[in-house]
């Protein structure tokens, strides 16, 4: 019987080899696709066991950190809570939800950026992620929160030379430690700075002026008739208060925010050129910010009659009204801050970013984000001329409320009418940078709704508070 | 070195394994190396030494590797069970002790194991009877769509198939010893196949019927596959006829096909096997959740595993505990092993089983009488097939059916029965290797 026993053993060896082959299939060959299978919650749980790194403000304030959640797992805690909620966001792996920087910088904080960690990670009892240093400034953020007070709206401050986001506050905010309990009206997950659709109003005149001057069609001293009303796209358009200004230079038109002049200028510049400059400023694209694309919207133009999104350069645009920030043009505060930053940085628009560097648990910097150029929007000369026009707005025009002692500020007010006629509801906004000749901060402030308030009276003081804070810090 | 001294040395790996394993689990759990791990190691070293002394005293010529291999498996299993659930590991340790007592008892009571032959019909009758016990209303325990155990107050479930498999092997070894010549030569040939005389083949058909009935009545495909596989292996070794095996497999396949298409529970298992990662099936009741998570656990292990105690078995912080891998300490223990020790650890485990089976077959080859040979073959083959059935189920070679991984899985019946099985193998081996000169 021993021959049979040998053969039987051979059969058993073959059967066991089959087991080894299938084990190899699951552990090695198909492993990565299985690990990424949507049904696989083991991957999720093993991620819960990673002690993710902190998100830090530029002064070292902890914006997000990991705290023990039992069973060797970790959960995220947000010490600054509602102050940075929209920017920082949240990450709740168990619920499968994440937002803000917690989502976009998740690969850094999980330590997935450095291959070293994942190879030797198995030897250490806890896997530790990397710390992410951001450019956010808690003092400026606090100033923005305080200045906005109870008003819904948002503040975005950028460093025009690097694109660093210094402040991004959206009101109402929420407690990112507990995003699910957020309920209107005193709480909102919406990041108005990147997601809200605002009519920019007269702040958009900066874009019109840049297109007009940089294309060579106008100079700051070009004289245009500022009578009111005029007919634009077959419908009468009036200046604020119905004032007929007569012939005025483009600079004066900027200082006094003369609608009829900018409408004429925009119509003469034409749709293709306006579209070209808007694209250079970043319009029509999701902002290039290191932030979840799902939480940003592009700034673009909607048809005022049908409410539908118009394609870039569509002949259906009411260009005259777009030139004064109406006519369906819809922007985010981030976009308007980018407009100010481009002018401030000699016409060169830097890519905005939150992340400055990634430091691993041993204190070694594993990645540094270097500033990069998004586009050269205009020539340095144009930038200088538009800066002068904007400086005069603050010195003698609609933006005097933002004046700082000893520092010249370049700015532009905006006051868009919203709601039904007769309600006298406005959407005040203000776009500025300072110091005008050596810009360190570019800022955009938008307040959702005001009872008859103006950009120069409602939004400008908020911008002033944040500018003051940042400049006092030497930013 | 004498056989017994080799056996003693062979226990060193098992001891190291249990000590290192517990130490690793402790480190993972609390970041401290508690002396409890050393205590555990010492206790199991003591138990293994005790068993070794029993063998030394009673079976001086027995194979020196069988016991160390089993000790390594059992200690490894204990660490795994401890890592999954410390409370179950304590119960497992008690079963380990009971198993060793029965092991010693079997050796002492059946010094001359050939007297088992006298009771072969009693043994087979009792085996078949206890096999269907789980189906008796009020006695049986219905688990995951199958009748797998008998409720025993105070002890939990008693799994009769673990003992029945030994009884059936003993019966078949004895029966085939008597009839193997007749089965080959006594029949008439038809279409090139030897048709054995029905008188002698009858009992084997009964066993086939019982295996099938086990499947239908108890919905327990795993045990039926294990018993039937053992039967075919012994039949082949006894007769040398591949045709018997082919016909047997065809008959089984026919039965399995019928059941797979007509019994919803069996059909569901087959569907789970074929479409494990189908999301609909994954979320269904009695769906593929268990098998899929077993596969995911293996994927998490990769080549070298995540390390002892690192596998994610339960949802962290869930109370009551939600198992990500259902039945991690019994059916799915191989998946947990692959998760923590990787492909290498899992393959090493399979190699240990193969070595055990090889030593069992070696005893069978060396045995001087047919009954001993067939007994050793049957006992070893049953272990081999049991490993194949459960590991094959976890790795999706075949549909998953619940049997234990011998010596490793949690389960009192399994540990105790398999120690009795080991005792019988050692008895055969001792007689086979005993010098003839007296």
| Closest residue on chain B to A124 (Cα) | B28
Instruction: Report yes or no: A459 and A413 within 8 Å, Cβ to Cβ.
Output: yes
A459 and A377 housed in the same domain:
yes
A38 contacts on B by Cβ (under 8 Å): 279
B346 contacts on A by Cβ (under 8 Å): 20, 23, 27
B272 contacts on A by Cβ (under 8 Å): none
A96 and A142 housed in the same domain:
no
Interval B254-282: pLDDT, tens? 877 887 788 777 788 888 899 988 888 88
Chain A / chain B CB contacts < 8 angstroms: 145
Q: Which residues of A439-472 are buried (b: 16+ CB within 10 A; e: fewer)?
A: bbbbbbbbbbebeebbbbbbbbebbbbbbbbbbe
Residues 6 or more apart whose CB falls under 8 angstroms from that of B264 comprise none
Give the Cα separation of A252 and A388 in Å (integer).
Answer: 11
pLDDT computed for residue B336 by the predictor: 92
A35 contacts on B by Cβ (under 8 Å): 296, 299-300
| Closest residue on chain B to A121 (Cα) | B306
Instruction: Report yes or no: A335 and A414 within 8 Å, Cβ to Cβ.
Output: no
A219 and A323 housed in the same domain:
yes
In-domain check, residue A24: no
Compute, in degrees rounded to 10, the torsion defined by CA atoms A108, A114, A115, A117: -90
A331 and A418 housed in the same domain:
yes
Residue A419 to chain B, least CA–CA distance (Å): 48
Q: Which among B346, B361, B388 has the least Cβ separation from residue A5?
A: B361
Q: Tell me if the pTM is above 0.80.
A: no
pLDDT computed for residue A288 by the predictor: 95
Parts of chain A with a pLDDT under 70: 71, 112-126
A72 contacts on B by Cβ (under 8 Å): 316
Give the Cα separation of A409 and A396 in Å (integer).
Answer: 12
A164 and A110 housed in the same domain:
no
Domain of residue A146, residue span: 138-472
> What is the sign, positive or negative, of the torsion defined by CA atoms of B28, B32, B33, B34?
negative
Residue A246 CB neighbours (<10 A): 9
Quick check: B302 contacting A, CB < 8 Å?
Answer: yes
Give the Cα separation of A324 and B9 in Å (integer).
Answer: 92
pLDDT computed for residue B187 by the predictor: 63
Query: What residue ranges do the domains of chain B occupy?
Result: 3-275+322-433
Give the Cα separation of A281 and A273 in Å (integer).
Answer: 13
Helix then strand count (H, E) for chain A reads 17, 24
Interval A205-234: pLDDT, tens? 999 999 999 999 999 999 999 998 999 998
Quick check: B298 contacting A, CB < 8 Å?
Answer: yes
Q: Give the residue from A112, A134, A156 where a domain finishes.
A: A134
Q: B316 and A45: CB-CB below 8 Å?
A: yes
A307 and A164 housed in the same domain:
yes
Quick check: B344 contacting A, CB < 8 Å?
Answer: no
A60 and A164 housed in the same domain:
no
In-domain check, residue A11: no
Q: Which among A19, A25, A48 has the least Cβ separation from residue B392?
A: A19
| Closest residue on chain B to A126 (Cα) | B28
In-domain check, residue A419: yes
Partner residues linked to A413 by β-bridges: A430
Q: Nearest Cα to B360, choosing from B292, B424, B285?
A: B424
pLDDT computed for residue A321 by the predictor: 95
Residue B77 to chain A, least CA–CA distance (Å): 19
pLDDT computed for residue B153 by the predictor: 61
Quick check: B379 contacting A, CB < 8 Å?
Answer: no
| Closest residue on chain A to B280 (Cα) | A39
Give the CB-side neighbour count of residue A260, counting CA atoms within 13 A.
23
Instruction: Report yes or no: A284 and A312 within 8 Å, Cβ to Cβ.
Output: yes
A342 and A259 housed in the same domain:
yes
A142 and A110 housed in the same domain:
no
Q: What is the CATH classification number for the domain harbouring A107?
A: 3.90.1310.10
A32 contacts on B by Cβ (under 8 Å): 299
Q: Nearest Cα to B245, choosing from B199, B304, B303, B183?
A: B183
Q: Nearest Cα to A1, choosing from B253, B165, B372, B97?
A: B372
| Closest residue on chain B to A120 (Cα) | B306
Q: What is the CATH classification number for the domain harbouring A179?
A: 3.40.710.10
* Angle (nearest 5°) at CA B79 between B76 and B82: 150
A73 and A189 housed in the same domain:
no
Best A1, A21, A33, A36 residue to mutate vs chain B (most B CBs within 10 Å): A1
Residue B10 phi/psi, 5° resolution? -65, -20
Q: For chain A, how are helix, strand and coil distributed in percent, rounded to 5?
A: 40, 25, 35
Q: How many domains does chain A have?
A: 2
Q: B316 and A26: CB-CB below 8 Å?
A: no
Residue B395 to chain A, least CA–CA distance (Å): 6
A147 and A275 housed in the same domain:
yes
In-domain check, residue A389: yes
Instruction: Report yes or no: A55 and A63 within 8 Å, Cβ to Cβ.
Output: yes
In-domain check, residue A30: no
A36 three-class SS: coil
DSSP 8-state secondary structure symbol assigned to residue A37: -
Q: B300 and A23: CB-CB below 8 Å?
A: no
Query: Looking at beta carbons, which pairs linking A11-16 to residues 24 or more positions away fall under 8 Å?
Result: A12/B354, A12/B357, A12/B381, A12/B384, A12/B388, A13/B354, A15/B384, A15/B388, A15/B392, A16/B350, A16/B353, A16/B354, A16/B384, A16/B387, A16/B388
Parts of chain B with a pLDDT under 70: 27-38, 138-156, 186-196, 198-199, 211, 214-216, 219, 316-319, 437-438
Give the Cα separation of A71 and A225 in Å (integer).
Answer: 74
Q: What's the Cα-to-Cα distance from A424 to each of A254, A447, A452, B163, B291, rounded to whole Å?
A: 24, 15, 5, 90, 66
A306 and A198 housed in the same domain:
yes
Q: Which among B300, B354, B364 has the least Cβ separation from residue A5?
A: B364
| Residues composing chain A | 475
Give the Cα separation of A446 and A340 in Å (integer).
Answer: 14
Q: Which residues of A touch B (CB under 8 A)?
A: 1-5, 8-9, 12-13, 15-16, 18-20, 22-28, 30-32, 34-35, 37-43, 45-46, 48-49, 69-73, 122, 125
3-state secondary structure chain B: CCHHHHHHHHHHHHHHHHHHHHHHHHHHHHCCCCHHHHHHHHHHHHHHHHHHHHHHHHCCCCCCCHHHHHHHHHHHHHHHHHHHCHHHHHHHHHHHHHHHHHHHHHHHHCCCHHHHHHHHHHHHHHHHHHHHHHHCCCCEEEECCEEEEEEECCCEEECHHHHHHHHHHHHHHHHHHHHHHHHHHCCEEECCEEECCHHHHHHHHHHHHHHHHHHHHHCCHHHHHHHHHHHHHHHHHHHCCHHHHHHHHHHHHHHHHHHHHHCHHHHHHHHHHHCCCCHHHHHCCCCCHHHHHHHHHHHHHCCCCCCCCCCCCECCCCCCCCECCCCCCCCCHHHHHHHHHHHHHHHHHHHHHHHHHHHHHHHHHHCCCHHHHHHHHHHHHHHHHHHHHHHHHHCCCCCCCCCCCCCCCCCHHHHHHHHHHHHHHHHHHHHHHCCCCC
pLDDT computed for residue B10 by the predictor: 85
Q: A39 and B377: CB-CB below 8 Å?
A: no
Partner residues linked to A88 by β-bridges: none
| Closest residue on chain B to A47 (Cα) | B312
């Amino acid at each position: 019987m021993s021959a049979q026993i040998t053969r039987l053993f051979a059969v058993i060896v073959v059967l066991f080899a089959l087991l080894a082959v299938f084990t190899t299939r699951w552990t090695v060959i198909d492993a990565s696709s299985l690990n990424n299978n949507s049904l696989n919650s083991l991957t999720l749980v093993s991620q819960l066991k990673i002690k993710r790194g902190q998100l830090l403000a530029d002064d070292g304030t902890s914006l997000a950190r990991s705290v023990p959640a039992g069973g060797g797992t970790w959960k995220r805690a947000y010490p600054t809570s509602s102050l940075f909620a929209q920017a920082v966001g949240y990450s709740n792996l168990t619920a499968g939800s994440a937002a803000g920087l917690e989502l976009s910088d998740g690969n850094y904080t999980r330590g997935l950026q450095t291959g070293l960690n994942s190879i030797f990670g198995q030897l250490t009892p806890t896997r530790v992620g990397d710390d992410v240093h951001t450019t956010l400034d808690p003092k400026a953020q606090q100033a923005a929160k305080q200045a906005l007070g109870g008003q819904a709206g948002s503040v975005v401050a950028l460093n025009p030379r690097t694109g660093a986001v210094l402040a991004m506050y959206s009101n109402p905010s929420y407690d990112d430690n507990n995003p699910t309990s957020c309920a209107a009206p005193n709480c909102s997950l919406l990041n108005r700075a990147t997601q809200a659709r605002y009519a920019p109003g007269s702040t958009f005149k900066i874009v019109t002026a840049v297109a007009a001057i940089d294309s060579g069609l106008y100079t700051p001293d070009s004289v245009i008739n500022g009578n009111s009303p005029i007919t634009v796209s077959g419908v009468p358009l009036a200046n604020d208060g119905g004032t007929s200004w007569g012939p005025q230079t483009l600079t004066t038109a900027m200082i006094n925010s003369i609608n009829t002049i900018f409408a004429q200028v925009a119509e003469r510049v034409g749709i293709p050129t306006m579209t070209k400059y808007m694209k250079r400023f970043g319009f029509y694209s999701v902002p290039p910010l290191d932030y979840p694309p799902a939480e940003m919207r592009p700034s673009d133009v909607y048809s005022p009659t049908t409410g539908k999104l118009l394609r870039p350069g569509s002949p259906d645009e009411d260009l005259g009204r777009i030139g004064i920030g109406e006519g369906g043009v819809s922007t985010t505060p981030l976009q308007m801050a980018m407009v100010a930053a481009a002018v401030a940085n000699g016409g060169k628009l830097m890519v905005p970013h939150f992340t400055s560097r990634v430091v691993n648990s041993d204190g070694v910097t594993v990645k540094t984000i270097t500033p990069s150029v998004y586009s050269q929007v205009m020539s340095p000369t144009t930038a200088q001329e538009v800066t002068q026009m904007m400086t005069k707005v603050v010195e003698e025009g609609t933006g005097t409320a933002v004046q700082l002692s000893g520092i010249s500020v370049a700015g532009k007010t905006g006051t868009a009418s919203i709601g039904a006629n007769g309600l006298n509801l406005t959407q005040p906004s203000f776009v500025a940078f300072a110091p005008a000749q050596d810009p360190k901060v570019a800022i955009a402030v938008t307040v959702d709704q005001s009872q008859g308030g103006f950009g120069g009276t409602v939004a400008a003081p908020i911008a002033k508070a944040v500018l003051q804070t940042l400049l006092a810090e030497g930013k | 070195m004498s056989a017994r001294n080799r056996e003693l040395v062979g226990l060193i790996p098992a001891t190291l394994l249990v000590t290192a394993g517990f130490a690793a689990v402790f480190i993972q759990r609390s970041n401290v190396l508690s002396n409890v791990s050393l205590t555990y190691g010492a206790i199991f070293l003591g138990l293994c030494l005790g068993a070794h002394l029993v063998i030394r005293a009673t079976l001086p010529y027995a194979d020196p590797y069988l016991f160390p291999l089993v000790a390594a498996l059992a200690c490894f299993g204990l660490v795994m069970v401890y890592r999954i659930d410390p409370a179950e590991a304590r119960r497992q340790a008690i079963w380990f002790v009971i198993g060793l007592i029965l092991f010693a008892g079997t050796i002492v009571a059946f010094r001359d194991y050939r007297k088992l032959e006298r009771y072969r019909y009693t043994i087979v009758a009792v085996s078949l009877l206890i096999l269907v016990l789980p189906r008796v209303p009020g006695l049986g325990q219905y688990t995951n769509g199958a009748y797998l155990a008998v409720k025993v107050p105070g002890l939990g479930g008693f799994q009769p198939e673990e003992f029945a498999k030994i009884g059936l092997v003993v019966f078949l070894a004895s029966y085939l010893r008597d009839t193997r010549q007749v089965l080959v030569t006594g029949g008439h040939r038809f279409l090139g196949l030897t048709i054995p005389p029905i008188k002698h083949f009858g009992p084997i058909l009964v066993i086939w019927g019982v295996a099938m009935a086990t499947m239908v009545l108890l919905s327990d495909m795993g045990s039926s596959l294990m018993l039937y596989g053992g039967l075919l292996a012994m039949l082949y070794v006894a007769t040398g006829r591949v045709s018997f095996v082919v016909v047997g497999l065809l008959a089984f396949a026919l039965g399995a096909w019928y059941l797979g298409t007509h019994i919803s529970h069996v059909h569901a298992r087959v569907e789970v096997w074929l479409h494990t990662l189908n999301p609909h099936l994954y979320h269904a009741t009695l769906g593929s959740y268990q098998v899929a998570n077993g596969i995911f656990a293996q994927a998490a292990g990769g080549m070298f595993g995540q390390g002892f105690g690192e596998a994610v078995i339960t949802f962290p912080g869930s109370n009551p505990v939600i198992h990500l891998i259902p039945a991690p300490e019994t059916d799915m223990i191989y998946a947990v092993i692959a998760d923590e020790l990787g492909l290498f650890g899992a393959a090493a485990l399979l190699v240990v089983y193969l070595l055990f089976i090889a030593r069992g077959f070696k005893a069978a080859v060396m045995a001087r009488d047919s009954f001993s040979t067939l007994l050793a073959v049957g006992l070893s083959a049953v272990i081999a097939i049991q490993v194949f059935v459960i590991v094959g189920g976890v790795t999706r070679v075949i549909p998953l059916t619940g049997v234990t991984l011998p010596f490793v899985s949690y389960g009192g019946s399994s540990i105790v029965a398999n120690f009795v099985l080991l005792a019988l193998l050692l008895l055969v081996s001792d007689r086979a290797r005993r010098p003839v000169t007296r």
